[in-house]
């Protein structure tokens, strides 16, 4: 009787695991994608590095639309350099994450990434580099409000004009050349 019960339990567990649609893997953060919205992760398979772009689920990267507000190419390049440096203080290239591939989008996978201590989406929102696109997570909404109040990341004085333009549609102030 015990053997039959054990066999049925094993069968049920394997069946439920096989029906699971989410795919998990361990991948290293390689950098930002060319579009500014996606994060590029890499994993090693068959002695080759495989790269895949990943859009974080229900998250909007604030600086992805910077080209809409900064029209000067030289200023945009300077902004991108400063932004990437600031972002790499939160998410370091080469750091390994558990990546859950949720869906296949047009240009990138839709995924969620975390390390053993924290969730990448929550870290980016709390650091002020991203905003949640839906109201489904109270934790993300609270972290976004705290980042705005504490003037972290894109809400800091260094990036505020660009952030205000992107999120609120306020035109960038004109630079006065002396």
- The reported pTM is 0.80
Question: CA 37, CA 129: separation in Å to the nearest integer?
Answer: 11
In 21-167, the DSSP E strands lie at: 23-32, 39-45, 48-56, 59-61, 96-104, 109-114, 130-132
- Encoded tokens for 89: 């203080």
Model confidence at 17, pLDDT cuts 50, 70, 90, reads: very low
Over residues 8-28, mean pLDDT: 63
Residue ranges of domains in the chain? 21-167
Question: CA 170, CA 162: separation in Å to the nearest integer?
Answer: 9
Q: Who has greater pLDDT, 81 or 24?
A: 81
pLDDT one-digit tens code per residue, 102-133? 888 788 889 999 999 999 999 999 999 999 99
Q: What are the residues whose beta carbons fall under 8 Å from the beta carbon of 64, sequence distance 6 or more?
A: 35, 36, 37
- Encoded tokens for 68: 């809409």
Would you say residue 146 has pLDDT above 90?
A: yes
Would you say residue 166 has pLDDT above 90?
A: no
Closest C-alpha among 32, 31, 27, 21 to residue 50: 27
- Distance of alpha carbon 141 from its chain centroid, rounded? 15
CB half-sphere exposure, 139, CA atoms < 13 A: 7
| Beta carbons of 38 and 104 less than 8 angstroms apart | no
Pairing, β 109-114 against β 48-56: parallel
**21-167: CATH topology:** OB fold (Dihydrolipoamide Acetyltransferase, E2P) (2.40.50)
- Encoded tokens for 51: 């790269």
């Amino acid at each position: 009787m015990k053997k039959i019960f054990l066999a049925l339990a094993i069968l049920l567990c394997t069946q439920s695991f096989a029906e699971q649609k989410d795919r998990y893997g361990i991948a290293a953060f390689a950098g930002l994608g060319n579009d500014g919205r996606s994060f590029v992760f890499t994993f090693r398979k068959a002695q080759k590095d495989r790269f895949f772009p990943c859009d974080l689920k229900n998250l909007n990267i604030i600086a992805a639309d910077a080209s809409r507000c900064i029209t000067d190419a030289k200023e945009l390049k300077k902004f991108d350099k400063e932004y990437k440096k600031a972002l790499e203080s939160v998410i370091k290239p080469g750091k390994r994450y558990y990546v859950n591939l949720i869906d296949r989008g047009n240009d990138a996978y839709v995924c969620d990434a975390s390390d053993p201590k924290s969730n990448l989406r929550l870290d980016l929102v709390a650091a002020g580099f991203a905003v949640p696109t839906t109201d489904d997570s109270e934790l993300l909404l609270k972290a976004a409000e705290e980042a705005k109040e504490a003037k972290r990341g894109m809400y800091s004085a260094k990036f505020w004009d660009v952030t205000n333009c992107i999120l609120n549609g306020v035109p960038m102030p004109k630079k006065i050349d002396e």
